[in-house]
Copies of this chain bind each other. A is one copy, B any other.
């Protein structure tokens, strides 16, 4: 069967063990599962041909970007080829006058931002990893700046997708508003390669912030930190990042970097101000607000160097945990809840870690009610970490939240969707059957 694929696509098809290996895992899912081949698509035609071959052969096709997903999204569940889009990596158009860029799906967010140098604009969605923009759209990724700029759904204006049947659709337009018919673009965003293959994206750009100031603030407890976060959000101050790090994380950082930060919940806040004067006033107002909410230590930064130093605890957390738990890997949860319920869920998560004898820490996008528990898992611990995640999700759903704020469903969270969506899940499955009746596209994922 692979012969006909190779006949069609030649050198673009690889069955080298290294290629199969790198396409049979992601950054966190504890299982490997190899595809039978990797197709390195170089353009739309290659995607169309791969899908034509799949329809003939019955083989599944799994779109692959950088492999930085976390939930088993790219792992074959049976016979499958991995459709690697990383070589479709051209920035096709930058139109600063429209605040728009058009890219191929393999372009990474760092690559795009490098290409935007000199335009005064940037693409704000930042999930941490230097992921491909196609992959970020496929999982509806977001990150630290989402509180201000929105996630992928808000920043992808249009998509070109190839359906399982080979049809090429253009969804959405390069405009900031449209009410012209059903919103298929947003249906494909977050569909994790199960409804179609994204082959081009039209993205919304934003002015680069010039006047940036940041705060690092420690609090006695989570409630005070949450109060401060609420006060900042309700104030109309232009908060662009609003991050929480818990006392467990600060302990790990102190040991890893030999620091003596208070081992207390901390907020890391970044403001994008319009002018120097606005910055001064907003900085003062922010300080007042966090002090009123009970800040016990506050540290402000204005220069880029100061900011880097100030945010080290946030940025180094993962490595501090790696050092603290040698030989462990990390499961990273991403529940989100209505903002006011976040302290309760964070506390629940800390208590669960303790009760279950698991190591870890919490870091979160508190402005979005979304946080990560990084759970250290030894080789034998995975079932325990899974049980932890299940209990955390259960609580999040009980509080009106979602099982995944930004990582997506993949394999790992399929089991939660019935509870989260109720009868709507069956309609998601019907959409899957409508767009992919043979079940060729990333089967076994999401629905």
Contact = CB atoms under 8 A, between A and B. Distances in A.
A404 B190 contact: no
A399 to B, nearest CB: 10
Contacts of A423: 167-169
Given A338-B100, A339-B97, A370 B176 contact: yes
Given A154-B154, A272-B236, A428 B181 contact: yes
The 7 closest A-B pairs by CB, nearest first: A277-B281, A278-B278, A97-B340, A178-B402, A98-B338, A186-B186, A275-B281
Contact of A98 (B173, B189, B339): B339
A198 to B, nearest CB: 14
23 contacts: A96-B234, A97-B339, A98-B340, A98-B341, A99-B233, A121-B234, A140-B178, A150-B150, A154-B154, A171-B424, A176-B368, A176-B370, A177-B336, A180-B408, A180-B417, A181-B409, A182-B431, A182-B446, A183-B189, A209-B236, A238-B274, A275-B281, A276-B281
Contact of A169 (B151, B191, B278, B422): B422
Nearest to A121: B234
Interface in A150-173: 150-151, 153-154, 167-171, 173
B179 A230 contact: no
Nearest to A143: B177
A373 interface: no
Nearest to A183: B186
A175 B98 CA distance: 30
A409 B187 contact: no
Contacts of A403: 180
Contact of A446 (B178, B181, B368): B181
Copies of this chain, tallied across the complex = 2
Contacts of A431: 182, 431, 434
Nearest to A430: B434
Contacts of A96: 234
A406 interface: yes
Contacts of A120: 234
Given A176-B370, A406-B177, A184 B278 contact: no
A189 B407 CA distance: 24
Interface string A424-447: 110110111011000000000011
B175 A338 contact: yes
Contact of A401 (B139, B173, B273, B281): B173
A237 interface: yes
A175 B400 contact: yes
A405 interface: yes
Contacts of A432: 182
Contacts of A189: 183
Given A154-B150, A171-B424, A400-B174, A179 B408 contact: yes
Contacts of A211: 236
A408 B282 CA distance: 39
B99 A339 contact: yes
A146 interface: yes
A285 interface: yes
Contacts of A278: 273-275, 277-278, 281-282
Interface string A260-286: 000000000000111111101110010
B340 A405 contact: no
B280 A182 contact: no
